[in-house]
Amino acid sequence: MTVDILQIAKQIVDISTLEKLKGGSCRNVYRLNDTQVIKIAKSPKGLEQNLCANDYLLINEGILPKLEDVGLDYIITEYIPRNDKETRQFLKPLRSLTMGDFKDKTSKLQDTMHKLHLETLMDYNILWNDVLSWRNWGTRSNGMHVLIDEGAINDRIHFSSTPENWAIQEWEQIKRLRCTN
């Protein structure tokens, strides 16, 4: 059944015809249309990051983009364009805070997160520097800022982390399937 899903996905989307957007080190991101992007894993860590996109609490809070579809090695999410100038202004109040403030849940952090409507992130083990990075955010047409790098909500997934065994095993399967299709 997995092979059928991959074959169907290849028939629906010819990646070579899509606009490639700036992505991270673990996933390639392509714009499907005016409202959606596809994020395709490049490694086991990419699979782990895709799994973070299933956080319905953060989606419902508007902190993460809406999740449209999930496949073996990809996710399709709402397209949220970057607006670096606005995002830098939005994140500016957080720049005076540290990871220590986040870990200690200082009153200044709590006040700032509340003002930015990001208080739900205080319940997560985030990658502080990734959350502070303007390149990981987009801005909806209504001005709402959205964290478009879902991997930033899990501090166990970073450049020097070792992927979980399930991700390594699934990645091996994906590589075999990619070679046969």
Q: What is the CATH number of the domain that holds 78?
A: 3.30.200.20
Phi, psi for 176 (deg, rounded to 5): -65, -45
Q: What is the pLDDT of residues 72-101, one digit of tens each?
A: 999 999 999 999 999 999 999 999 999 999
Give the per-residue pLDDT at 181: 62
Q: Domain range holding 150?
A: 2-180
The per-residue pLDDT for 13 is: 66
Please give the tally of structural domains in the chain. 1
Mean pLDDT of 137-154: 96
**What pLDDT is attached to residue 5?**
47
Which tokens belong to 56? 């319905």
Are 27 and 42 in contact, with CB atoms under 8 Å apart? yes
Residue in 36, 35, 16, 26 with CA at minimum distance from that of residue 73:
26
